[in-house]
Chain A
Amino acid sequence: MEDKITIALPKGKLGNEALELLAKIGLPVEGLVTESRTLLFDYPEAGIRYIICRPTDIPTYVEHGAADLGIVGKDTIVEAGADIFELVDLKFGKCRFVVALPEATLNKYSKQGKFDLRVLNKGRVATKFPKVAEDFFASQGIQVEVIKLHGNIELAPRVGLSEMIVDIVSTGRTLRENGLVAVQNIFEATARLIANRVSYRMKYARLNEISGKLRQILAQEGVNNA
């Protein structure tokens, strides 16, 4: 008997891109929408069940084994610090973590066009990702006070809540519109296929088949795009 597997998908744009990819490897996705009141989609014939949840909750569902697989951004994985297996880089949903600060601050502290982050030692950082921010500044030997916000981080330096921010950027437009400049890349993030560590071993055949197919499709697309 084939193992029944549960896949956790994020709501919204990331989820839709994930669905496209899953359809390409032949998994059932008819009638599946990530923005609806329905949170559970069952395809008994295929032995697949999807659960739709908030991106930040996906590592939790997978870590506890409520879902065998999940698709979620690397940014969320790092912030969650969950004990999961990261199987495939799905290449979509690309964004990067940056340290950004107001242009005025940058100009004030730049010497010969160079800016050293250490001038902001003991500064305040507003972010939605306190773990990423703390880990990064600790690795640089810079002490900061991290202020956790839940959205519109760009606002914080403008109203004097913090000197700088740590946030994810895809195009950089929001930063520019708020007079902020990215001064340091922390890391790049893309969507990943993650697996529960017990499922990966107990349902190895099916999980390996899915991750293998995904890798194959992505390699093909990589060649086509090149």
Chain B
Amino acid sequence: MNKFSTRLQTVNGVKDILPKEAFEKRKLEASLVELFRKWGYQEVQPPTIEYYDVVAENDNSIDELFKFIDREGRILALRPDFTTPIARLVAANFKGETLPLRLFYTGNVFRFESTQTGRQREFSQAGVELIGAKGVGADAEVIALAIEAMLACSLKDFKIGIGQVMVTKGLLEEFSQEPADIQTIKQAIITKDFVGLENILLNQKWDGKPRKELLGLATLHGSIEVLSKARKLSNNDGFLQAIEELEQVYDILESYGLSKYIFFDFSILRDFEYYTGIVFEGYTPDLGYPVCGGGRYDNLLSRFGLEKPAVGFALGQERVMLAQKSFSCPPKIDYLVTGGDTKTLLKKAKELRAQGYSAIVDFDGSSAVQVKDNINEVLFVQGGKS
């Protein structure tokens, strides 16, 4: 152990990104940005730091925020995602503008999660928010864009799973129970804890029908045909409308030519309190976590005084990079310019760069040996006194 050993460490849950990975990441980000722009989305960059009250979840004392206190004693937090800061940004800057707004972002987010789960505490997201548009057209656009984003990341064999929190909410409301029970049931459905779900429902002493419906719903999985199966589970209006909208979303995705990537699964609820409609997650084989996720959250903007519906998704760049099988290497430097006097060298390098090549200058005559394998061609320049 030398005396610098602690100084060389990075903080738990964060890491250095070295040239190879940085190259890959930048490339990925560039292709996503290009895609989002083609779909008419404009970039916004909210700050990294927000007031705690902006990003704090309601009634959740155990949050995953990185918190600190500024010099005036106010509590601040590093953004845990982009959706909430962008909701604030829109309410503050776009009140009264023509809607819908199509916004995209890329950047780092920070969550104080247990590092045991293999997730970093600082990670990068890229995503979109479609604000001020309600209905199946908007839902389908965002899902289609999520699929295109997965394709742009050269992911193969991926699937997007679609759920609808209103379907489950509708069923739960119909058999209105204590809020605490509903919370336990939701938790059981989210974690696919069939065992727990069955136990809770048995303890509820619901006879026959409702119990079967909820269990039936949690086990529904598949393509468009599951929607007709789901239809039979309840007569609740909200429930039936939600199913109908899913069918419409499917039809639109078929028109996009993207319906082969999707399946329906009503256990996909994501954050139940936050989302108000369709929800979806993207999966790839051999990666244990979803690569992207999103949904409709019509109540979030009202927290900032703007009653507008919204739908969006975010994609985890590190997870995409884990899922990508092939890695490209950063390109080699085209030229190392050496041989002549400094003036000649600099002039030659400038010329090459202007022509679109990358070039480094061997300013003291030593680089040629050191970095040869990183360089495509060593260019000896004649002229000047050498």
What residues of chain A have their CB less than 8 Å away from a CB belonging to chain B? 60, 63-66, 74, 82-89, 192, 195-204, 208
> In the complex, what distance in Å separates the CA atom of A199 from the CA atom of B267?
14
Instruction: In the complex, identify which listed stretch (B46-54, B190-198, B232-240, B345-353) lies at the interface while the others stay far away.
Output: B190-198
Query: Is A198 in contact with B192, judged by CB distance below 8 angstroms?
Result: no
Q: Which of A60, A86, A88, A201 contacts B283 (CB 8 A)?
A: A201
Instruction: In the complex, identify which listed stretch (B91-99, B245-253, B286-294, B295-303) lies at the interface while the others stay far away.
Output: B286-294
Query: Is A202 in contact with B221, judged by CB distance below 8 angstroms?
Result: no
Query: Is A66 in contact with B195, judged by CB distance below 8 angstroms?
Result: no
Query: Is A200 in contact with B192, judged by CB distance below 8 angstroms?
Result: yes
Q: A198-B283, A201-B263 are in contact. Are A85 and B288 (CB under 8 A)?
A: no
Q: Which residues of B contact A65 (CB under 8 A)?
A: 286-289
How near does chain A come to B295, taking the closest CB pair, in angstroms? 16
Interface size on B, residues (CB 8 A): 25
Q: Which residues of B contact A202 (CB under 8 A)?
A: 159, 283-285
Q: Which residues of B contact A89 (CB under 8 A)?
A: 195, 198
Q: Which residues of B contact A204 (CB under 8 A)?
A: 221-222, 263
Q: A86-B194, A87-B192 are in contact. Are A201 and B117 (CB under 8 A)?
A: no
Q: Which of B116, B193, B284, B285 contacts A85 (CB 8 A)?
A: B193
> In the complex, what distance in Å separates the CA atom of A89 from the CA atom of B288?
22
What residues of chain B have their CB less than 8 Å away from a CB belonging to chain A? 116-118, 159, 161, 191-196, 198, 219, 221-222, 263, 265, 283-290
Query: Is A197 in contact with B285, judged by CB distance below 8 angstroms?
Result: no
How near does chain B come to A187, taking the closest CB pair, in angstroms? 11
> In the complex, what distance in Å separates the CA atom of A195 from the CA atom of B265?
16
Query: Is B117 in contact with A88, judged by CB distance below 8 angstroms?
Result: no
How near does chain B come to A59, taking the closest CB pair, in angstroms? 11
Q: Which residues of A contact B284 (CB under 8 A)?
A: 198, 202
> Which 4 interchain pairs have the tightest Cβ spacing?
A65-B288, A85-B192, A89-B195, A86-B193
Query: Is A201 in contact with B193, judged by CB distance below 8 angstroms?
Result: no
Q: A198-B283, A201-B161, A202-B283 are in contact. Are A63 and B117 (CB under 8 A)?
A: yes
Q: Which A-chain residue is minimally distant from B158 (CB atoms)?
A: A202
> In the complex, what distance in Å separates the CA atom of A197 from the CA atom of B293?
14
Q: Which residues of B contact A87 (CB under 8 A)?
A: 192, 194-195
Q: Which of B193, B195, B283 has the most CB of A within 10 A?
A: B195
How near does chain A come to B72, taking the closest CB pair, in angstroms? 34
Query: Is B221 in contact with A86, judged by CB distance below 8 angstroms?
Result: no
> In the complex, what distance in Å separates the CA atom of A89 from the CA atom of B285?
26
- 6 A-B residue pairings within 8 Å (CB atoms): A64-B288, A82-B117, A86-B193, A201-B221, A201-B283, A204-B263
How near does chain B come to A188, taking the closest CB pair, in angstroms? 10
Q: Which of B193, B221, B289 contacts A198 (CB 8 A)?
A: B289
Q: Which B-chain residue is minimally distant from A77 (CB atoms)?
A: B193
> In the complex, what distance in Å separates the CA atom of A85 from the CA atom of B380?
64
Q: Which residues of B contact A84 (CB under 8 A)?
A: 191
